[in-house]
Amino acid sequence: GVVVVGSINMDMVAHGMRLPAPGETLVGQQFVMAPGGKGANQAVAAARLGAQVAFVARVGTREHGPALLRALADEGIACEGVVRDGQALPGIAVIMVASEGGENAIVYVPGSNAELSPDDVAASKDALQTAAVVVAQLEVPVPAIAEAFALARATGATTVLNAAPALKVPEALLGLSDWLVLNETEAAQLSGLAGAREAAQALLQRGPRTVVVTLGAEGVLLADAGGRLEHLPAQAVQAVDTVGAGDTFVGGLATGLAEGRSAAEALRLGQAAAAIAVSRSGVQSAMPRRAELGAAFAP
Ligand code: ADP
């Protein structure tokens, strides 16, 4: 199965005609509250695609915490590794969206995500050591991710680091990552190099066996320690909402790897899922179920 170690938030999205000026109160047209966070998004993406998924996280149970926990359970995600913190608020993102132009402004309050500790992760030792694939992103503290990857590596599980958002990554964590997955912006930031090819090849020297740079509608670039450098084009779709494309892609990649597929096949599974997700609005609500991918991607 797949173990995802990462963040979970409630996204609170208010749509107005435009963004308000400082000090201004604007009457909006629509409000939507939906679970998010890169960790939870990737766990949901993998679960919808049929993977057995366990989530390792820290959730404050004040305010929206119980709703977040219910949403995970509704997706069939195992939550034994989710530490519940009665004192804390869960992560919250307050998002304003301008319906004219689509611009947004976000205040993100990490809440309990910032408190995920190596001890919290070590409590999920059994799940981490029986997983086929362990996935993490950078919205929870690095020491917690390093603990998860060290435990996973001890039994030969494949570790996948999605280096998002664009932050510095300690070299020791890159050394514990079998796969490094990141978009062009993150690749440029982490490598200091502008071109995706140059960035991917430089990042390979820092520990991962395989580096994947996602290129939006252009697909992905795959570079591996065996000297392979390949561009895999994306499926052509009419994009409606690309928020969360990367999360759907990573969830699909992890699912494919857990099924024992080759790197190229697992990447295509991730791309097929992401192409469907961008053709619909929403993040988790846009993520496809396995049957929607068609016979070519039958489990
Ligand atoms: P992020 O959301 O992290 O910035 P990308 O925008 O690179 O990531 O998207 C991740 C993957 O999702 C891409 O590699 C691609 O496979 C798929 N994808 C993204 N945008 C589109 C699109 N407009 N059409 C088809 N596939 C897309």
Q: Over 90: is that where the pLDDT of 251 sits?
A: yes
Structural domains in the chain plus CATH codes = 2-290 (3.40.1190.20)
113 is in an annotated binding site: no
- CA-nearest residue, atom 9 of ligand 1: 216
10 is in an annotated binding site: yes
252 CA from centroid of ligand 1 (Å): 12
For a mutational test of ligand 1's pocket, the pick from 139, 190, 214, 243, i.e. the residue with the most ligand atoms closer than 8 A to its C-beta, is: 214
Q: Does any ligand 1 atom lie closer than 6 A to the CB of residue 253?
A: no
218 is in an annotated binding site: yes
114 CA from centroid of ligand 1 (Å): 27
In percent, the amount of the chain with pLDDT more than 90 equals: 97
Q: What is the pLDDT of residue 102?
A: 82
Q: Over 90: is that where the pLDDT of 252 sits?
A: yes
Q: Over 90: is that where the pLDDT of 32 sits?
A: yes
Q: Quote the CA–CA distance of 59 and 243 in Å, as a whole number.
A: 23
Q: Over 90: is that where the pLDDT of 53 sits?
A: yes
Q: Which DSSP letter does residue 149 get? A: H
Q: Over 90: is that where the pLDDT of 158 sits?
A: yes
Average pLDDT on 140-161 reads 97
28 Rama sector, left if φ>0, alpha if ψ -120 to 50, beta otherwise: beta
Closest atom of ligand 1 relative to the 270 alpha carbon: 16
Q: Over 90: is that where the pLDDT of 277 sits?
A: yes
For residue 289, what pLDDT band results from cuts at 50, 70 and 90? Answer: very high
Q: What is the pLDDT of residue 101?
A: 84
* Closest to 270 (Cα-Cα) out of 229, 230, 212, 224: 212
User: Catalytic site residues?
Assistant: 247
Each residue's pLDDT tens digit, 178-221:
999 999 999 999 999 999 999 999 999 999 999 999 999 999 99
11 is in an annotated binding site: yes
Q: Does any ligand 1 atom lie closer than 6 A to the CB of residue 41?
A: no
Strands (E), 61-164: 82-85, 91-98, 104-109, 133-136, 158-162
Q: Quote the CA–CA distance of 43 and 45 in Å, as a whole number.
A: 6
Q: Does any ligand 1 atom lie closer than 6 A to the CB of residue 239?
A: yes
Q: Does any ligand 1 atom lie closer than 6 A to the CB of residue 68?
A: no
- CA-nearest residue, atom 26 of ligand 1: 275
